[in-house]
Amino acid sequence: MKEIAAKPQPLTLPWGLLLALLAGLAIILLPEQAGLPIAGQRMLAILAFAVIVWISEAVSYEVSAIMILALMAFLLGNAPSLADPDKLIGTKDALSIALGGFANSALALVAAALFIAAAMTQTGLDKRIALLTLSKVGASTHRVLFGAIVVTILLSFIVPSATARVACVVPIMMGVIAAFGVDKRSAFAGGIMILVAQATSIWNVGIQTSAAQNLLTAGFMQKLLGQSVTWTDWLIAGAPWSVLMSAVLYWVILRVMPPETERIEGGKEAVRKALSELGPMTGNERKLLAIVLTLLGFWATEGKLHAFDTASTTLVGLAALLMPGLGVMSWKQAQPRIPWGTVIVFGVGISLGGAVLATGAGTWLAKLLVANLGMEGLSPFWVFAVLGAFLIVIHLGFASATALTSAMLPIMIALLLQLGGDINPLGMSMLLGYVVSFGFLLPINAPQNMVCIGTETFDARQFLRTGIWLTLIGYGLMLVFALTWWRWLGWM
C-alpha cells in the first residue's frame, strides 16, 4: 500500500511579525523626506519593526535582536553614506554600526551584574539576607508586609537584577504564607505578592545598578551625550522618591487589599526554622558579601574618592568572584545561570539607539515632534511632565522596560537636544529613565510582575487596582520632585 504523502504545511507568520515587516517596508517605500537621509529613513523603518515586534511579542526578544542586526547590516549597508552620498555604506561598515553597542561599557556592567546575581543564587546569600530580615519583624500581618518591603530594598542594593531579586523573595514569602496557614487566594497572600512586585519596580528607580534599563539609560547618556551620572548621583536623586513611594505602597496595599486578620501565629517561627536549615554562614557567602560590600563602596565613592567608573570596578569584582581559590563559583557553575539572551538584547538595544541618532533619524523625528506637539518654548518642568506621561502610557504596550528604553530614550534625548534652552539633557535623561520603571499597571509590563502573578495569589484586576494608585501618586510625586528636589540638585 502506498503511503500518502503528508501535505506540506502552509508558511505562516505571527501577526505581529507580519505587521512589523509591513510597517518597515511602508516606511522604506515612502518618498524621501526633507532633511532625512535615506539611511535615517531606513533606521526609522527598523525602529518601527522593533517596536511592533516587542509590543506584540511575535518572537522572543533574543530572536528579535538577531533580526534587527541583520536588518541593520543590509538596509543600512545599501544606503548612501552620510559622509559621501555617492557611495554606499556597505554591509561591513553597517554591521560594525549594528555591533557598536557591544563595545559600550554599560554592556560590560550588565554582564557583570548578571554574574553577581548568579553568585547570590549559587551561594544562597540572597536567601539568607531575606530570611534574616524577616526574622526580625513581628508576627503581625502588617509587620510581615513591612518586612517584605525592607527585604526588597536591601536586595536592591546587592542583587543587580530585578528578576533575580523577585525569584529569591517569592519562594520565601510563599513559605511564610503557607506557615501562616492562610489560603493562597486570600487578600493577605495576594497583598504580599503584589507588594513584592511593586516594591521591586519602585526601587528600580532609586538605585542605578538595580535594573537593566537603568544601565541602558546610562549607556545611552555616555554614547549620545558623551557623559553619564555616577551611582551616587543617581541614588541621591532617585532614592528619596523610592522611600516615599515605599510608604505609599504600604498604605495602598493595606487600603486595597487589607489582610483578613491582624495577627497569625506560626509565621515568625517558620522563618526562623528556614533560617536554621540554612546552617551557619559559609565561606563562599562571606567572600561574596565582602566583594559586594566593597563594590558598593566603590560605586558610592566614584568621582569623590577615586576616578574608577562603575563598570570597571564591577568587572574587577566579577574577576574576584570567578578566581580560583578566592572566588565563589566556577565558570561551569555560572554559565547555565546567566541569561545570555539579555546580554545580546542589551547590546543590540544600544546599537539601535545609537544608529537612530547617527543616521540623522532621531534628530529629524525630534524636530517633527517639537513642531507638531508644540513643545518649543515649554519650560523644563512641562517638558518632563509631557514626556513622562507619554512614557507611562506607552509602557502599557511593552513587556520589557529594557525594550522600552531601547526604543524611546534615544528619541527622547534627540528631542531634548533639539529643544535646547534651559533644559539639562543629562539630568532630564536620567529623570526620564526613572519613569521607564513605571511598570505598575499590568502584570505583563515587567518580568517581576509575571513572576509574582505566577504564584496564583492574585489576579490582574487586583494588580491593576493597586497599580492605578501607585501610577497616579508616583507620577504626581515625580512632578513635585521636578519642582523641588531635582531642580535644587540642578538636574531640571
* Same domain, residue pair 48 and 162: no
* Same domain, residue pair 175 and 291: yes
Q: What is the pLDDT of residue 29?
A: 95
* Same domain, residue pair 33 and 167: no
* Same domain, residue pair 95 and 117: no
The model's pLDDT over 10-33, given as tens digits with 9 standing for 90+, comes to 657 788 999 999 999 999 999 999
Q: Which of 278, 305, 337 is the last residue of a domain?
A: 337
Residue 62: domain span = 12-99
The model's pLDDT over 88-108, given as tens digits with 9 standing for 90+, comes to 999 999 999 999 989 888 888
Percent of the chain with pLDDT over 90: 50
Q: Which of 72, 99, 126 is the last residue of a domain?
A: 99
Q: What is the pTM of this model?
A: 0.85
Q: How confident is the model at residue 259 (pLDDT cuts 50, 70, 90)?
A: confident
488 near 424, Cβ under 8 Å?
Answer: no
Q: Is the pLDDT of residue 1 over 50?
A: no
* Same domain, residue pair 167 and 301: yes
* Same domain, residue pair 114 and 38: no
Of the candidates 312, 340, 407, the residue with the CA atom closest to the CA atom of residue 44:
407
Q: 414 lies in a domain?
A: no
Secondary structure of residue 423 in the 3-state scheme: coil
Q: Which of 337, 355, 388 is the last residue of a domain?
A: 337
Residues 99 and 170: their CA atoms lie apart, in Å, by 37
Q: What is the pLDDT of residue 434?
A: 97
Q: How confident is the model at residue 234 (pLDDT cuts 50, 70, 90)?
A: very high
Q: 408 lies in a domain?
A: no
> What is the rounded average pLDDT of the residues 70-94?
94
The model's pLDDT over 335-370, given as tens digits with 9 standing for 90+, comes to 888 888 888 988 898 899 889 888 998 889 888 888
State the DSSP code for 302.
B
Task: Give the rounded distance of the alpha carbon of 348 from its chain centre.
Answer: 15
Q: What is the pLDDT of residue 432?
A: 96
Of the candidates 342, 341, 357, 345, the residue with the CA atom closest to the CA atom of residue 223:
357
Contacts of range 456-460, beta carbons closer than 8 Å, 24 or more positions apart: 456/184, 456/185, 457/177, 457/184, 457/185, 457/189, 457/190, 457/192, 457/193, 458/185, 458/189, 458/190, 458/191, 458/193, 458/194, 458/257
* Same domain, residue pair 58 and 121: no
- Tell me which of 273 and 480 has the higher pLDDT: 480
* Same domain, residue pair 52 and 167: no
Number of domains, the chain: 2
Contacts of range 189-192, beta carbons closer than 8 Å, 24 or more positions apart: 189/457, 189/458, 190/257, 190/457, 190/458, 190/462, 191/145, 191/253, 191/254, 191/256, 191/257, 191/258, 191/259, 191/458, 192/144, 192/145, 192/148, 192/457
* Same domain, residue pair 286 and 327: yes
Residues 49 and 348: their CA atoms lie apart, in Å, by 14
